[in-house]
Structure 1
Amino acid sequence: MNRLRLLLPELATLSIGAGVLALLSFTGVLEWLLAGSASTIVLGLILLGSVVVVLSLQVARQAELLAEELGEPFGTLVLTGSVIVIELALIGSTMLTGESNPTLARDSMFSVLMVALTGITGLCMALTSRMQKKDRDQPMRVEDLAATNKAGAMVYYNLIGTMSVLVLIIPNFSNDSPEGNFSLPLNIVLSVTALVVYGLFLFNQTGAYRGFFMEMFADEGGNPESRHHAELEGGPWQAAALLMGTLAIVVVIAESMGQLIERGVNELHLPSSLAGILVAMLILLPEAINAIQATRKGKLQRALNTLYGSVLSTISLTVPAVLLIGEVTGTKVILGLEQYEMVLLSLTLFLLRPHSRVLGSEGLMLLVVFLFWFVLELV
């Protein structure tokens, strides 16, 4: 009885999500919203977005508990896998049911990269640097700066840099096929390569090289306050069940939001890239919350594992999926970025080169790049 009482907030959140899901699935509310005016669509997005925020907070809480129970990098892999499910559901449903948009997958992937690698990572680095300075009267020393596991950061950096260039830049310079894409044989090679690279990465991350992705100076004793659900005594299975249940609801609601986003962008005559940005923000919401919470607790490595892992899985798993859907349905897919986007991606990769210690200026410059990217996407 005591355990059930402690679970009431989580069960209440699930009930709210299930109620909204039933409303969208078994009534004509979604069709009414899609057929409505621009103001109606915006109102629907705000209401559904609020529900997704509440559900995402619960996903982040349960993912944090799993990370505490399972240890790194297994804990963050659960959240990364959860987020890629949302992304594939959003992009796949829009490609299958929405209007033809050949740049949807590219815009969504690039938006995930920029939001995660410049916006959220920049914020986490800036927060970490700010938290390190506890005594304003004493000068900052190198050993006072936040430390990251440079070996793990280098692995992520090499894989993300290589795959993002192959997927988003090289198609623009290939003579194999026009309009920023490869021919079918090269797309098959690209898809197989992406899957194999990601599979090998997971094998190494959870095996012999697991230590590369753990905190440099782990707190062996643990912080009991960070185990905010430890009193439930349900262990990782309870957290996993709550996470999966909440995530399943988020996925279906996100699909409805994807349709509303696309309809709203067309109705208001906004840049098509805005749809990709909104989809990316919706996708990354649970991870953003989790990464910021981890950073505030001094666990920057966990935050970076979450963000970099999400970006790598986005590139490696989304590309094969969208290319397959495009081939089966006859939908045109464009992967190559615009010229200014290629420059911004290159600048982002340059700023993210691994260091042993994190400086506040790195986070600030990443946030500057994020700001310019966001503004340029809207003009």
Structure 2
Amino acid sequence: MRVPSWTTYTPILAAVMLVLTWGRYPPAVVLVLVAVLLMGAVVSAVHHAEVVAHKVGEPFGSLLLAVAVTIIEVGLIVTLMVTSKGDTSGLARDTVFAAVMITVNGIMGLSLLVSARRHRLAVFNPEGTASALTTVVILATICLVLPAFTTSESGPEYSGTQLAFVAVASLVLYGMFVVTQTGQYRDFFLPVGRDGVTLDQDGDGHADPPTRRATLTSLGLLVVSLVSVVGLAKVESPSIEKAVDAVGFPNAVVGVVIALLVLAPESIAAVRAAARERVQVSLNLALGSAMASIGLTIPAIAIASIWLDGPLALGLDSVQIVLLFMTVIVSVLTVLPGRSKPLQGGVHLVVLAAFVFLTIAP
């Protein structure tokens, strides 16, 4: 009889801890245990996502993890906006922008750096990656940049009509990309070798895909893991907010921390794929997560804003716009050749470091 591994027990324990601590203010000892189970749930989510991805193949596996994490991220943002006692008008903007910077610069940069250092060059399909990057840029511009320049509302806000248009446009654009990625042009999003030929679909060249039962079990445990990650992050959030206030950091730092916690499973999965010279999988995860974070979160928050009190500030400030502009330029230059040296990965990580530093010390 096969004994279940710790990746089976950990999501269940994390879910039990979530039930026991939800809506409460646990003591410091319990918060430490919550943090341990939170990290365990993150690693478990990566494991089960890779099992499911091995069964369904790329790019469906990357798409599944990106969408699952983003849907739960929306729930976390809305929950914090409802329950937090402070100003939450910019929480959605700060979290989504942080997610974009972490995915496009952090996950993408680290993946390119790891693969290029291990295999001399990181190789990927520029056509599929460029399509994903283009979609991310347009979504980021209409959702996060334009609100800072419109005049219908005072401040970095959209009017109700403008917000409705942007929500619909975001969903349409995201839907078009998903159809492109999973339909006729699916080959553009599959891992490629150094000769430009698409690699095998199994994921490692020799292992058989998991059984249907194992896949369904991992799918269920993936959902439990992701719910636990976001739920336990919510339990930890009051401590995070107090810590941020105690050291005198701006409120935007809370959004960065939330994005880091939510994106941890994708980050680990992307780096592991890059180490196996499957950089396209890493880029699918990075850009797909950025795209889903904007294209699904903003429409959901737009709908939720009907019932939420207070303004919804979406427009970035001037420093954030400059950082986004740098990210776009660097990403275009990285993607076009279809291969990357370690330098490109390092450049992306420096942009991420600048974002984190300027968020802490604006």
User: Do they superpose with TM above 0.5?
Assistant: yes
Q: 1:177 to 1:307 in 2, by over 3 A?
A: same
Structure 1 residue 111 and structure 2 residue 98: aligned? Answer: yes
**Displacement, 1:225?**
8.9
Farther-moved stretch of structure 1 (249-258 vs 97-106): 249-258
1:71 counterpart (46, 54, 57): 57
Count residues in correspondence.
Answer: 353
- 1:177-326 matches, within 5 Å, as 177-217=153-193, 218-220=198-200, 222=202, 230=210, 234-326=213-305
Structure-2 separation of matches of 1:221 and 1:111: 32
CA-CA distance at 1:220 after TM superposition: 2.9
- 2-side partners of 1:220 and 1:213: how far apart? 13
1-structure distance, mates of 2:41, 2:278: 23
Aligned to 2:48, which of 58, 62, 70? Answer: 62
Supply the AA of the counterpart residue of 1:365: V
The answer to whether the Cα contact below 8 Å between 2:230 and 2:262 also exists between their aligned partners in 1 is: no
| Residue number among 53, 56, 81 corresponding to 2:39 in the alignment | 53
Change over 3 Å in CA distance of 1:228–1:271 after alignment to 2: farther
Offset, 1:50: 2.4
After TM superposition, the structure 1 stretch with the greater mean CA deviation from structure 2, 208-217 or 310-319, is: 208-217
Cα deviation code 1:4-59 (max 9, x no counterpart): x1x2423321342133123204xx8x3255xxxxxx5xx76554332211111111
In structure 2, the CA distance between the partners of 1:346 and 1:16, relative to structure 1 (3 Å rule), is same
- Is residue 89 of structure 2 the alignment partner of residue 102 of structure 1? yes
Q: Aligned equivalents of 2:43 and 2:342: distance in 1?
A: 27
Which residue does 2:117 correspond to in 1? Answer: 130
Q: Give SS of 1:179's match.
A: coil
Residue 9 of structure 1 corresponds to which residue in structure 2?
6
Alignment equivalent of 1:366, drawn from 335, 339, 348: 348
Q: Which runs of 5+ in 1 are unaligned?
A: 34-39, 134-144
Cα distance 1:229–1:223, how it changes in 2: closer, same or farther (>3 A)?
closer
Shift, 1:242, TM fit: 2.0
CA contact (8 A) 1:68 1:227 kept: no
Look up the SS of the partner of 1:329 in the other structure.
Answer: coil
- Alpha-carbon contact 1:60-1:286 (below 8 Å) kept: yes
1:58–1:243 contact (8 Å) kept in structure 2: yes
Shift of 1:131: 0.9
Go from structure 1 to structure 2 and tell me whether the alpha carbon gap of 1:168 and 1:93 turns closer, same or farther (over 3 Å shift). same
Inter-partner Cα distance in structure 2 for 1:55 and 1:344: 32
User: Which range moved further: 181-190 or 194-203?
Assistant: 194-203
CA distance in 1, matches of 2:292, 2:253: 22
Q: What CA distance in whole angstroms lies between the structure 2 residues aligned with 1:278 and 1:9?
A: 26
Q: Distance in 2 between matches of 1:330 and 1:375?
A: 31
CA offset at residue 216 of structure 1? 2.0
Do the aligned partners of 1:187 and 1:323 also contact (CA within 8 Å) in 2? Answer: yes
CA deviation string 1:292-341 (max 9, x = no partner): 11111111000110111000001111111222222322221111111111
Give the direction of change, closer, same or farther, for the CA distance of 1:226–1:300 in structure 2 (3 Å limit). Answer: farther
Which deviates the most, 80-89 or 246-255? Answer: 246-255
The RMSD of aligned alpha carbons is 2.2
Q: Is the 8 A contact 1:89 1:255 kept in 2?
A: no
Give, in whole Å, the separation in 2 of the partners of 1:348 and 1:223: 30
Q: Which amino acid aligns with 1:377?
A: T
Deviation at 1:182, TM superposition (A): 1.2
Deviations 1:249-298 (A, max 9, x none): 22322332334433443455421111011001011000001001111111
- Distance, in Å, in 1 between the alignment partners of 2:34 and 2:89 is 26
Gap runs ≥5 in structure 2: none
For the 8 Å contact 2:229–2:262, the answer to whether it is kept is no
Q: Given that residues 69 and 235 in structure 1 are in contact (C-alpha distance below 8 angstroms), is that contact kept between their aligned partners in structure 2?
A: no
Identical amino acids, percent of aligned pairs: 28
Decide whether the 8 Å contact of 2:113 with 2:346 is kept in 1. Answer: yes
Structural mapping, 1:325-344, within 5 Å = 325-344=304-323
Q: Indicate conservation of the 8 Å contact 2:46/2:266, yes or no.
A: yes
1:347 shift after superposition: 0.3
1:221-244 deviation digits (Å, cap 9, x = unpaired) = 8566985995x7734222212212
Contact 2:139 2:170 in 1 (8 A): yes
Aligned partner letter, 1:207:
G
Query: 1 CA distance for matches of 2:313 and 2:306?
Result: 12
Within-5 A mapping of 1:19-34: 19-25=16-22, 30-33=24-27
C-alpha displacement of 1:372: 1.3
Distance 1:221 1:22 in 2: 39
Larger radius of gyration, structure 1 or 2? 1
User: Are residue 80 (structure 1) and residue 66 (structure 2) matched?
Assistant: yes
Q: TM-score, normalised by structure 1?
A: 0.87
CA–CA distance in structure 1, aligned partners of residues 252 and 158 of structure 2: 22
